[in-house]
Structure 1
Amino acid sequence: MARAQGARAQMALAFETTYGMPPVSGFTRMPFASATLGSEQPLLNSELLGYGRDPLAPIKDAVTADGNVVVPIDAAAFGFWLKAAFGQPITTGTDPYTHEFRSDGWTLPSMSIETGMPEIPRFAMYTGCVLDTLSWQMQRSGLLTATASLVAQGESVATASAAGTLVDLGLQRFGHFNGAITRDGNPLGNIVSAEITYANSLDRVETIRSDGRIDGADPSIAALTGRIEVRFADQVLVTQAINGDPCELSFAYTLPSGESLTLTAHAVYLPRPRIEIAGPQGVQATFDWQAARDVTLGRMATVTLINSVEEY
């Protein structure tokens, strides 16, 4: 008897032309580390009386389809998640291509994502997937991954794949040792770790339907937040926090072959932190930063991805 194994699982992704309608072709093989994307429909206990102590049959509630996908931050496939988070990029140049994703867009694309377990076989197609949050951490060592939180419209399960022939982009993975952080264009030292979270603040359109699915997921006010933990060596960040002035923070990765990924938060505000002396070791301070719209550029953030992919 065949048993499902994560090692044999596969994921395919394609952007939809019409929300909730999977395309017939154009799916790309996506690298991923884990996925909780799924559909569930809870049962409601019967509240009726007069039939004895044993309850009556439960009633089905609305369908909820969502979950997280943990993906590697790489030079090619990560562009699909950036497009899902920010919208269609502005692409310039010839190989290598420069893809610029901006945070000021009003429209987000929806995706169809298929997860497959070929040994069962079970192929689940999740349609109407919209990205809610995209987050990752920067640190000195370990595997570099990002978590994409998705809201989907529904799930369709089949015994054969509906994704067709998959496009394989190859994997050029960034590592933590490729990372760098700058403040107003200058290297920012003494950083122990950093967290970055971009949120679209999706609003589920929960209308009345016979199938129990949602009608859509509309983006609301975006948010770009995070945390930096620093070794306390100077007063630069503390002074900025006290004065209430913004700065520009850039989080970048660059491969020796030239591919790069840079997220720039154009106007970052820092809270005044508590400086604690916990023992004889070095003193560290934590800043839970927030980004806002830059009045000059008219947007909050820009993500620049340089690779050999012609378009997303």
Structure 2
Amino acid sequence: MARAQGARARMALAFETTYGTPPGSGYTRMPFASTTLGSEQPLLNSELLGYGRDPLAPIKDAVTADGDIVMPIDAAAFGVWLKAAFGAPVTTGTAPGPYTHTFQSGSWTLPSMSIETAMPEVPRYAMYSGCVLDTLSWQMQRSGLLTATASLVAQGEAVATTSGAGTPAELDLIRFGHFNGAITRNGVALGNVISAEITYANSLDRVETIRSDGMIDGADPGLAALTGKIEVRFADQLLVNQALAGDPCTLEFSYSLPSGPSFTFTAHAVHLPRPRIEIGGPQGIQASFDWQAARDATLGRMCTAVLVNDIEEY
């Protein structure tokens, strides 16, 4: 008997035309490292008395479908997650490329997706419809595998023994690595950075209307947030002085490959808190800045993501 193994699992994704309705075609095979995307329906204990010490049967509660997907930050497939986070990009370039895809924060309308996770050996094909991206986060550091985490809110799950995604399209996997990363502040390389964290949140609000199937009616974007953390080796007063003055700066987090593909994420108005500078021992002294980004009054947006690759459109 075949047993489910993560090494055999597959994932396919397509953007929906109608929220909660999986498309009949147009799926793309997505690279991923792990996923907790799933659906659950808890049971409510009976509160009724008068039938002895043994409880009566429980009843079903509402359905909750959500979870995280950990994926590589690459030159092609990551554009799908950027579209889920910010909406459709503005694309420039001519065949055969390269193409520049520019994503901007602030959109009131976010696309929904249908995502199928497949375990062919069971067989089990779970289609999650009405998936909307809540948060997208990643870390920059000196070494290790570069991945991002997308947190999703879905409407529901449908399990079948055959795939509903057909034959998904394949994308070339060209991964960025930590070695390809750089951080600048106001256009100047920011030194002494040990690690950085970036989190973009759409602050989704589940539309929990009364339905016979217990599912939600949608997930509406709320007030967006862009936050993060910079860990630096304390060598000068540059960031501390900015925190004391209360002035914003522009932080740019980027990756580029010698072959041409690149990914640049720019937070246009970053505010830094005054940090606590501690001397913990004889080792080097570090400082942490839990930064927050805001809307830039001149540009009219909080952040911009630019992906350069050979994909014509998303």
1:111 to partner: Cα distance: 0.1
**Is the aligned partner of 1:46 residue 2:41?**
no
Aligned length: 312
**Is the aligned partner of 1:90 residue 2:62?**
no
Amino acid across the alignment from 1:188? L
How many angstroms apart in 1 are the aligned matches of 2:164 and 2:107? Answer: 31
How many angstroms apart in 1 are the aligned matches of 2:260 and 2:294? Answer: 30
Q: Which 4+ runs in 1 deviate beyond 6 A? A: none
Amino acid across the alignment from 1:264? T
Paired residue secondary structure (2:168)? coil
Which residue of the partner structure matches residue 65 of structure 1? 65
Which residue of the partner structure matches residue 250 of structure 1? 252
Identity rate, percent: 81
1:41 to partner: Cα distance: 0.1
Amino acid across the alignment from 1:138? M
How many angstroms apart in 2 are the aligned matches of 1:117 and 1:245? Answer: 51
Q: For residues 22-51 of structure 1, give each alpha carbon's deviation from its aligned partner in whole angstroms, at most 9, with x where no partner exists.
A: 100000000000000000000000001111
Q: For residues 227-256 of structure 1, give each alpha carbon's deviation from its aligned partner in whole angstroms, at most 9, with x where no partner exists.
A: 000010110100000000000000000011
- For residue 108 of structure 1, the aligned residue among 107, 110, 116 is 110
How many angstroms apart in 2 are the aligned matches of 1:188 and 1:106? Answer: 33
Q: For residues 285-308 of structure 1, give each alpha carbon's deviation from its aligned partner in whole angstroms, at most 9, with x where no partner exists.
A: 000000000000000000000000
Paired residue secondary structure (1:113)? strand
**Is the aligned partner of 1:184 residue 2:186?**
yes
**Is the aligned partner of 1:36 residue 2:18?**
no
1:170 to partner: Cα distance: 1.4
How many angstroms apart in 2 are the aligned matches of 1:283 and 1:48? Answer: 61
Which residue of the partner structure matches residue 145 of structure 2? 143
Q: Which structure 2 residues correspond to residues 153-232 of structure 1 after superposition, within 5 A? A: 153-232=155-234
1:165 to partner: Cα distance: 1.3
Which residue of the partner structure matches residue 19 of structure 1? 19
Amino acid across the alignment from 1:194? A
How many angstroms apart in 1 are the aligned matches of 2:108 and 2:299? Answer: 16
Paired residue secondary structure (1:98)? strand
How many angstroms apart in 1 are the aligned matches of 2:184 and 2:145? Answer: 22
State the superposition RMSD in angstroms.
Answer: 0.4
Paired residue secondary structure (1:3)? coil
Paired residue secondary structure (2:239)? helix
The TM-score normalised by the length of structure 2 is 0.99
Which residue of the partner structure matches residue 241 of structure 1? 243
Which residue of the partner structure matches residue 56 of structure 2? 56
Paired residue secondary structure (2:196)? strand
1:104 to partner: Cα distance: 1.6
Paired residue secondary structure (1:132)? strand
Paired residue secondary structure (2:143)? coil
How many angstroms apart in 2 are the aligned matches of 1:192 and 1:35? Answer: 28
Which residue of the partner structure matches residue 301 of structure 2? 299
How many angstroms apart in 2 are the aligned matches of 1:225 and 1:218? Answer: 20
How many angstroms apart in 1 are the aligned matches of 2:83 and 2:4? Answer: 31
How many angstroms apart in 2 are the aligned matches of 1:121 and 1:217? Answer: 30
Which residue of the partner structure matches residue 123 of structure 2? 121
Q: For residues 127-185 of structure 1, give each alpha carbon's deviation from its aligned partner in whole angstroms, at most 9, with x where no partner exists.
A: 00000000000000000000000000000000000001110011000000000000000
Which residue of the partner structure matches residue 274 of structure 2? 272
